[in-house]
Chains A and B, each alone.
Chain A
Amino acid sequence: MTFTRFVEVGRVVLLNFGPNEDKLATIVDIIDQNKCLIDGPVDITGVARQVCSYKRIALTDLTVKIERTSTAEEIKSAWEESDIMAKWEASSWAKKLSSKKKRANLTDFDRFKVMVARKQKSAIIAKKLATMS
């Protein structure tokens, strides 16, 4: 089994710990075997340029074409060219993350509505199943 996602300049990563949890960033430079320099860019994802340990990031499939010492503007234009945000939102990873967040923020009334909707759905399925068998 070969690896397909590498820690490289331009790799888009998801931060999964800390104040910037669940935000995207790009690897701008590799510092050593434990940490790298990441940049949002700030205008698109809200992550400022900072040092980040590999333990706090998860590699995604997406990459951008940037140089090792790119500025924030260069990264931003590269992101807009490749339309990274749209590609990310379309991925099932991003969809699962957002649905988890939605579930966690449901109010008691919302949970009741979900329960009613699930009952209606299973009633439709059961009815269809009865006609098929």
Chain B
Amino acid sequence: MTATKGSSSKGPRYYPAEDIKVTKKHLPPQNPPKTRKSITPGTILILLAGRFRGKRVVCLNILESGLLLVTGPYKINGVPLRRVNASYVIATSTKIDVSNVDISKHNDAYFARSKEKTSEGEVEFFSGDAPKPAIVSDDRKAEQEKVDGSLLKVIAGTDMLEGYLSARFTLQKNDRPHVMKF
């Protein structure tokens, strides 16, 4: 039972004639993200959707938003430092040691899209949507090199792991994914 305040105040000088209930806004509790037990830093994941579907990548961290921080490494399979949704991922049981990789800078704010004011003038409106080339900043490239540098040494330590990460996952003719162990 909650303790009642002892002091009796004078009360407000004005109160409305009718009692109108003021509904409090329901703020959902900010809990740490819940991910599958099989996904931990260092797990090798298979991406199932998006631009890099079928690629096998290394999970580096689970971010605050619940998304997974992932890298190819870029030199092996072309997947950069990226965020990925855990729902579109198969976690394999293969794990590598990523404790020596520095990913403290890479959180949700690092990956958030920059809000540029795209002024839609008449000319741009009628010219149509041409695919804009992705501009990767030098800063991102440098970060990629830094993170992958330590990772590549760990990967070289395990036999055949580099070939495994550069190959894509596909379903063969007699594969039954509901029975396969990953």
Contacts and interface: CB of A to CB of B under 8 A. Distances in A.
Given A104-B179, A105-B181, A107-B182, A116 B92 contact: no
B112 interface: no
Interface in A97-133: 104-109, 112-113, 116
B167 interface: yes
Sorting the interface of chain A by its residue count into under 10, 10 to 19, 20 to 34 or 35 or more gives under 10
Given A116-B160, A116-B163, A109 B94 contact: yes
A112 B160 contact: yes
B41 to A, nearest CB: 18
Contacts, number: 34
A103 B167 CA distance: 21
B160 A107 contact: no
Nearest to B179: A104
Given A104-B179, A108-B93, A109-B94, 7 more contacts: A104-B181, A105-B181, A108-B44, A108-B46, A108-B92, A109-B161, A109-B164
> What is the predominant secondary structure among interface residues of chain A facing chain B?
helix
Nearest to A107: B93
Given A107-B93, A107-B94, A112 B179 contact: no
9 contacts: A104-B181, A105-B181, A107-B181, A108-B94, A108-B169, A109-B164, A112-B163, A116-B160, A116-B163
Contacts of B167: 112
B175 to A, nearest CB: 9
Nearest to B169: A108
A14 to B, nearest CB: 22
Interface string B150-174: 0000000000110110010100000
> What is the predominant secondary structure among interface residues of chain B facing chain A?
mixed
Contacts of B169: 108
A63 B181 CA distance: 37
A104 B93 CA distance: 14
Contacts of B163: 112, 116
A106 B182 CA distance: 8
Interface in B17-62: 44, 46, 56
B70 to A, nearest CB: 16
A119 B169 CA distance: 17
Interface in A45-94: none
Contacts of B46: 108
Contacts of A113: 160, 164
Contacts of A112: 160, 163-164, 167
Contacts of B160: 109, 112-113, 116
Contacts of A116: 160, 163
